[in-house]
Structure 1
Amino acid sequence: MRFILSVVLVTVMTTYVRAQSFFVNVDAGVANYDGELQQKRYTFSQAHPGGGLGIGYEVSPHVILSTGFLFTEISGADKNSSNPGAVARNLSFNTNIFEWNFRGEYQLFDLSDRSLSPYIFGGLAVFHFNPWATDPTGNKVYLHPLSTEGEGLAPDRPVYHLTQVAIPMGFGLRLKLSDNVRVGLELGIRKTFTGYLDDVHGNYFDEATLFNARGPEAVTMAFRSNELPAHSNATYPPPTWRRGTGGDDWYYFTGIRISFRIGGTDYTHNHMGCPTRIL
């Protein structure tokens, strides 16, 4: 009896290991962010295209581990807001996002005998950003070196890092086109631990101190209300005035993931409901 049980156990384990599969994942979609310069938490307004490439490993019919890279862009501008106060602030930014991510997925249904299944995912990501804006003459200016809110110029204004950790999470719906090709429509959000994706976070910094430490360009990029005709007489605010809300920023990617099987095999079922191996 023990021998028979051992043979059955080895057979099951061997079948399970052989059934595991590798996939190449190709991502395509659009990205946006939630922060001071975007009026809505989730919107396609000011969205930018992006894409990614990675590899996945099917641990079981319900669990998939994957890792990959994502490249995209996010931006925001006060001029697009319906809030008159935000429009008067007149700030804007753009930044590319370079991301490496690792995530685990839970797929509700086994796609060996179904064609459609919802799934959820979560994991860890490392991303790099570098916000910039155009100055009054139209030149591209990177904002991080300017310390527009006094980052690094006072004990309570620490410098923010351009490479940081985020927590990706989201959900999707996956369609099995064939045993070797799957397509998922998904929304993935990234919880960051910085409020400076857009270089806007806290209070204004003292104008004279900023000018002496970083020069006139820093003052120009920190306060831009006076560039608007209606506010041409506006003066630089005191440090007690809010420039941002103080919360952390998020970014998100909405798109499709196409997965191509490159290893292992799939199951189908015969007419009696018994699994049949496809070789």
Structure 2
Amino acid sequence: MRKFLLVLVAVFPLSLMAQRWHITGFGGISNYQGDMQEKRITTNQAHGAFGLGAQYDLSGHVSVKGGLMYGTISGDDKFNKQEDLRKRNLNFTSRLLEGNLMAEFRLFDLDEKRLTPYVFAGIAVFGYDPYTYDTLGNKHYLQPYGTEGQGLSTYPDRKPYNRVQVALPFGGGIKFRLNDQVTLGYEIGLRKTFTDYLDDLSKSYVDYNTLLAEKGPVAVELAYRGDELKDGNPLYPADGTTRGGEKVKDWYYFQGITIGYRLFGGRNEFRGGAKGSGRQLDCPRNIF
């Protein structure tokens, strides 16, 4: 009997800690803001996205959470309002895979209230790889072509951009408790990046002959595509002509529905059982 009570005392705190863990899911859309998408938040050119993660409650108001997010971003000059940018005729698509670690703050404790707004922030690492299709429908990943002179000896200050980057995620939303185990929510999460090349577009055009000699005709074709338009300019822009806006870095974001499932059932121990499922969670007294 004494051994049983010792095991009970050891396991009891672990069961309480287990109630703090949640499995989380996300389903919604992903999009980006950059040289081919001027609006910060829009559903125009958005794509489906999903995520999976875990959350640990430090208290009734604060949690730490981490997970993986997968989505797609794209941009196309044909949707641009500015005529000169439409005539540039560039486009891209990229898959995104993100791993993140964040802190979440809820205004209300969901063990006391059924609804609460919340905010979150943290750090993330993501991978991307922009690509496009030529006039024959062939798919080309853009980074190796150095469309703005990246990696060319003539432009030593332009290095190939890394396709794995760090981002700062932050955002907010609202959560609704369906029962003691399940919550539903809606959130918007922005990602501040430190690159201007999510869309393979940032600075200026480089010399036609230099790009042709070092990277080949496909690189030239994908660097400027105005000649593909019926009324487009067939002449490749002069070296140094503005191609993108390098002063502002690119962003990407997710928005959609979240779901959380508390492991091992019941409300957690922060309420001490007073407003939980009705079961008293006080430790047994005088067991020895």
TM-score, normalization: structure 1? 0.89
Paired position in structure 2 for 1:99: 98
Q: Distance in 2 between matches of 1:239 and 1:278?
A: 74
Q: Distance in 1 between matches of 2:46 and 2:236?
A: 31
Distance apart, 1:238 and its partner CA: 1.5
Paired position in structure 2 for 1:240: 240
Paired position in structure 2 for 1:89: 88
Q: Tell me, what secondary structure is at the counterpart of 1:178?
A: coil
Q: Distance in 2 between matches of 1:164 and 1:179?
A: 38
Paired position in structure 2 for 1:226: 227
Amino acid at match of 1:223: Y
Between 236-245 and 171-180, the greater mean CA deviation after superposition: 236-245
Paired position in structure 2 for 1:70: 69
Q: Distance in 2 between matches of 1:93 and 1:180?
A: 42
Paired position in structure 1 for 2:253: 252
Report if aligned partners of 1:55, 1:67 keep a CA contact under 8 Å in 2.
yes
Q: Distance in 2 between matches of 1:253 and 1:32?
A: 7
Q: Deviations over 1:163-219 (max 9, x none)?
A: 111010000101011110011200000001000000001111111111111100000
Distance apart, 1:265 and its partner CA: 3.8
Amino acid at match of 1:105: E
Amino acid at match of 2:130: P
Amino acid at match of 2:244: G
Provide the identity percentage.
Answer: 42
Amino acid at match of 1:235: L
Relative to structure 1, is the Cα distance of residues 20 and 159 closer, same or farther in structure 2, using a 3 angstrom cutoff? same
Q: Distance in 1 between matches of 2:186 and 2:278?
A: 27
Say if 2:111 is the partner of 1:112.
yes
Distance apart, 1:264 and its partner CA: 6.6
Q: Distance in 2 between matches of 1:149 and 1:36?
A: 14
Q: Distance in 1 between matches of 2:69 and 2:107?
A: 25
Paired position in structure 2 for 1:150: 149
Q: Deviations over 1:128-149 (max 9, x none)?
A: 0000011111111110000000
Amino acid at match of 2:222: M
Q: Distance in 2 between matches of 1:245 and 1:109?
A: 42
Q: Distance in 1 between matches of 2:131 and 2:65?
A: 32
Amino acid at match of 1:115: R
Q: Distance in 1 between matches of 2:244 and 2:68?
A: 30
Report if aligned partners of 1:267, 1:278 keep a CA contact under 8 Å in 2.
no
Aligned-residue Cα RMSD (Å) equals 2.4
Q: Distance in 2 between matches of 1:263 and 1:149?
A: 54
Q: Tell me, what secondary structure is at the counterpart of 2:263?
A: strand
Say if 2:199 is the partner of 1:198.
yes
Amino acid at match of 1:210: L
Distance apart, 1:275 and its partner CA: 3.7
Distance apart, 1:234 and its partner CA: 2.7
Distance apart, 1:239 and its partner CA: 2.2
Report if aligned partners of 1:80, 1:87 keep a CA contact under 8 Å in 2.
yes
Relative to structure 1, is the Cα distance of residues 256 and 240 closer, same or farther in structure 2, using a 3 angstrom cutoff? same
Q: Distance in 2 between matches of 1:278 and 1:240?
A: 72
Amino acid at match of 1:176: R
Q: Tell me, what secondary structure is at the counterpart of 1:39?
A: coil
Q: Distance in 1 between matches of 2:266 and 2:14?
A: 10
Paired position in structure 2 for 1:178: 179
Report if aligned partners of 1:186, 1:254 keep a CA contact under 8 Å in 2.
yes
Q: Distance in 2 between matches of 1:234 and 1:221?
A: 13
Distance apart, 1:263 and its partner CA: 4.0
Distance apart, 1:39 and its partner CA: 3.1
Q: Distance in 1 between matches of 2:44 and 2:277?
A: 48
Q: Distance in 1 between matches of 2:276 and 2:26?
A: 32
Report if aligned partners of 1:30, 1:49 keep a CA contact under 8 Å in 2.
yes
Q: Distance in 1 between matches of 2:217 and 2:276?
A: 73
Relative to structure 1, is the Cα distance of residues 119 and 90 closer, same or farther in structure 2, using a 3 angstrom cutoff? same
* Gaps in structure 2 of 5+ consecutive residues: 1-12, 280-288
Relative to structure 1, is the Cα distance of residues 212 and 17 closer, same or farther in structure 2, using a 3 angstrom cutoff? same
Q: Tell me, what secondary structure is at the counterpart of 1:229?
A: coil
Runs of 4+ in 1 over 6 A off after TM superposition: none
